[in-house]
Structure 1
Amino acid sequence: MEFSEILSRRRMVRAYRPDPVPDDVLRRVTRVIRRAPSAGFSQGHRLAVITAPDVRARIAEIAEQPYVDAGLPAWISKAPVHVAVGIREASYHERYQEADKTDDGVEMVWPVPYWWFDSGALLSLVQCAATDEGLATGFFGPGDPGQFAAVHALTGFADDVALTGILTLGYSAEAPGAPPSGSAGRRAKLPLDELVTWRA
């Protein structure tokens, strides 16, 4: 699939068919983690691929009700795969304490927490890889710190890996060509000139 087609097809989906996703497809999708950008090649990205029905059901029990209350269908519980996206901040500090990254042996002061920035970049790559495989994705973050902690405990992540959210993944049950089921289906796209500034 051409990159422009991947971009045009990538969208957040709120309805999945029950078909399982083959392991080889999941491996192709998740291997993009090794291509994801990270400051100084810190490699702090982590993914947890969750296909176990009982674990997915428990995650849905924690996180799905607000979406149902808002009028959306039950979609977290229907997705055959949950991919937890995580980031290990310590990997960045460890990398920037190495000789080629320090200033007189002192780690830089981080102007922004680039581990969170890089986590978003990984998410976009996984979505594009899934789209290239004919899969659909959605994304959610549990609603409060307690829910985040409860979902984190189900991912298998180490304690020093922060959960940034869960990517739902599977084959779309939405009708081809239907408007997006989330906010993108209810809001108009802003004009390009409002989003891009040119300084020539």
Structure 2
Amino acid sequence: MEFREVVRRRRMVRRYADTPVDPAVVDRMLEHAQRAPNAGFTQGWAFLVLDTAADVALFWESTGAAPGARNAWVDGMRTAPVVIVPLASRDAYLDRYAQPDKGWTDRSEDRWPVPYWFVDAGMASLLILQTSVDEGLGACFFGIPGEHVETFRQAFGVPDTHAPVGAITVGHRVADTGAPGSPSRRERRTDVVHRGRW
């Protein structure tokens, strides 16, 4: 598929078919994610791959989606056979930029007006989303509710050194329902690019 077509087709998919995802495809998504730009070539990310029914169910339970609770959004998202959780390590960046080739001598977070550990994990996440399109799959990036981050950490043994920046469901798409208010039905904004001056 041409790159422009991958970009054009990329959208958040919130309901999936009951079809397994080839593990080799998931591996390609992760290989591509690791090619994302990252400050100082820090590579301060990690990816938790949940691709068994038990792990996916535990993900939903640990992030606040109680079994049996009815919610149209969660009901659709729970149909995904794979969940990938991108994680960012602030300490990896602070350590990397305290090394001699970066010119800083301490690990001060004050030098980071933008926390690039989150930016870089976001770029890696986008490559996962784009790879899913290129592979003929659907995916959706969404946040883990703040009040459930600790239960998520405990459920999967995620260390405090890594913060989840969200989660990505992956699976085979089902046909659109055409429901009103669907993001695919909204017009794209055209007032977001400013040249020279705002």
Instruction: State the TM-score bracket (shorter-chain normalisation).
Output: 0.7 to 0.9
SS in 2 for 1:92: helix
The aligned residue for residue 153 of structure 2 is: 152
Q: Which runs of 5+ in 2 are unaligned?
A: none
- Asked if structure 2 preserves the Cα contact closer than 8 Å seen for 1:42 and 1:95, the reply is yes
The aligned residue for residue 124 of structure 1 is: 126
- Kindly report the root-mean-square deviation, in angstroms, between the aligned alpha carbons of the 2 structures: 2.4
The aligned residue for residue 169 of structure 2 is: 168
SS in 2 for 1:32: helix
Distance change in 2, residues 1:33/1:24 (3 Å):
same
The aligned residue for residue 112 of structure 1 is: 114
Q: TM-score, normalised by structure 1?
A: 0.85
1:42 maps to 2:42: yes
- Structure 1 range deviating more: 181-190 or 45-54: 181-190
Q: TM-score, normalised by structure 2?
A: 0.86
1:184 maps to 2:183: yes
The aligned residue for residue 143 of structure 2 is: 141
**Once the 2 structures are TM-superposed, how far is the Cα of residue 113 of structure 1 from its aligned partner?**
0.9
Instruction: Output the amino acid matched with 2:196.
Output: R
**Once the 2 structures are TM-superposed, how far is the Cα of residue 38 of structure 1 from its aligned partner?**
1.1
Count the aligned residue pairs: 192
**Once the 2 structures are TM-superposed, how far is the Cα of residue 68 of structure 1 from its aligned partner?**
5.1
1:195 maps to 2:197: no
- Distance, in Å, in 1 between the alignment partners of 2:169 and 2:65 is 12
Equivalent pairs: percent with the same residue? 32
- Distance, in Å, in 2 between the alignment partners of 1:181 and 1:94 is 48
**Once the 2 structures are TM-superposed, how far is the Cα of residue 142 of structure 1 from its aligned partner?**
2.4
Q: Which runs of 5+ in 1 are unaligned?
A: none
**Once the 2 structures are TM-superposed, how far is the Cα of residue 195 of structure 1 from its aligned partner?**
0.6
**Once the 2 structures are TM-superposed, how far is the Cα of residue 26 of structure 1 from its aligned partner?**
1.0
The aligned residue for residue 94 of structure 1 is: 95
**Once the 2 structures are TM-superposed, how far is the Cα of residue 187 of structure 1 from its aligned partner?**
3.7
- Distance, in Å, in 1 between the alignment partners of 2:156 and 2:84 is 9
- Distance, in Å, in 2 between the alignment partners of 1:125 and 1:91 is 21
